[in-house]
Homo-oligomer: A and B are copies of this chain.
Amino acid sequence: MEERINLSVLESFVSAVFHAMGCSSVDAETATRALVAADLRGIDSHGVARLSGYVRLWEAGRINASPKICIVHESPSTAVVDGDGGLGLVVAPWAMQVAIEKAKTAGTGWVSVCNSNHFGIAAHHAMMALEHDMTGIAMTNASAIVAPTFSSERLLGTNPICYAIPAGQEPAFVADFATTTAANGKLEILQRKGMDTPDGWLQDADGQPVNDAHALRKGGALLPLGGDREHGSHKGFALGSIVDILSGVFSGANFGPWVPPFPAYVPMPENQPGKGLGHFLGAMRIDAFRPASEFLADMDLWIRRFRQASPVSGQERVIIPGDPERAFEAERRAQGIPLLPVVWEDLRSVGEKFGINL
């Protein structure tokens, strides 16, 4: 059974942990907001369930709690940011703010980031643009657990893409998705239930299709969106590759099989060509394209038309990207955030390490 925790109690605890790791007060709050955004939006795999993982990376010397984040290259609409080994939860918002400032003067801002770490959910960073009447874009590469089409090797991460596009009366369009058939979090749910996966999610160590939810531990791989060639996996592979290149090659971070792993016990890949993990962040001022009122009215029309589509039998309606996460957030802000017993235990054990009660 899941027991709920009040949002502000959880935030205070998480912030205290980041502070105890050596983060400044400002950085601890920034990281907390980014991490807990996942729990609020129902992406439980990317929220506080990962807090102990960040702590272990810090203990292993792979995360710098007091980074000197800086711009190392720039043009009127672009920048490369060096995260100095900091938490992605801190580095990505810093870089997104640079993208937003660039967009204010140049119309758009595009920031590729090197020397960072796992940044939580992409949507949190992309959505920073919304309050400025900008479209926000966020991507990140991640350690390799995905096999390209026709490869038996794992060469890509689940490399998510988020676009957050403002609307007028309607809530914003927010699409945030891994470029694989299924995200790792969905796999973990089936693992806990002892169930097989559908076709098209996984292959085994030889590259053969498999339904074993534990295939990753046995040298298998997640499959790119599409699943196999006949169902367009070369497109999912292309998408994951684009994210990897924008995040890694554009910035001088690592890419492909060289991206640092999240679990601290996994050794770092050898002969890494770059620095840390990479992100790519963008901001586009809507009035750099059209008068804002016209843009927002057309986005409202877009959203309403799609939401009103005739549903297939057995389904209530077409779901606009961002709708389910917004519903989660409203409910969890009011009712608290449900945590699995294993997550409660994990958080308490992190707290004990630093003498922080939960």
A contact residues vs B (CB 8 Å cutoff): 73-78, 80, 105-108, 110, 112, 148-153, 155, 163, 165, 173, 175, 177-182, 198, 200, 203, 206-208, 225-227, 230-232, 234-239, 241-242, 244-245, 248-252, 255-257, 273-274, 284-286, 288-290, 294-295, 298-299, 301-302, 305-306, 309-313, 315, 317-319, 321
Contacts and interface: CB of A to CB of B under 8 A. Distances in A.
Given A78-B107, A245-B302, A238 B321 contact: yes
A57 B153 CA distance: 48
B236 A150 contact: no
A255 B286 CA distance: 17
Contacts of A321: 234, 237-238, 241
A16 to B, nearest CB: 36
27 contacts: A77-B106, A78-B284, A78-B289, A108-B108, A150-B315, A151-B306, A153-B309, A175-B238, A177-B232, A177-B234, A177-B235, A177-B238, A200-B231, A206-B312, A207-B311, A208-B313, A225-B225, A226-B226, A226-B232, A239-B239, A241-B306, A245-B299, A251-B290, A252-B294, A252-B298, A256-B305, A257-B305
Contacts of A248: 298, 302
A290 B73 contact: yes
A207 B77 contact: no
B110 A299 contact: no
A285 to B, nearest CB: 7
State the oligomeric state as a number of copies: 2
A253 B173 CA distance: 19
Contact of A108 (B110, B311, B319): B110
A106 B77 CA distance: 6
Of all A-B residue pairs in the complex, the 10 with the closest CB atoms, nearest first, are A75-B107, A207-B312, A175-B238, A75-B288, A78-B107, A151-B309, A150-B315, A77-B77, A78-B288, A77-B107
Contacts of A163: 238, 242
A66 to B, nearest CB: 26
Contacts of A299: 245, 249
A231 B199 CA distance: 8
B227 A149 contact: no
A148 B306 contact: yes
A208 B312 contact: yes
A12 B273 CA distance: 48
B301 A273 contact: yes
Contacts of A148: 306, 309, 318
Nearest to A174: B238
Contacts of A249: 165, 295, 298-299, 302
Contacts of A285: 75, 78
Contacts of A153: 309-310
B225 A108 contact: no
Given A177-B238, A242-B163, A312 B182 contact: no
A202 to B, nearest CB: 12
A289 B177 contact: no
A245 B112 contact: no
A127 to B, nearest CB: 15
Contact of A225 (B110, B235, B245): B235
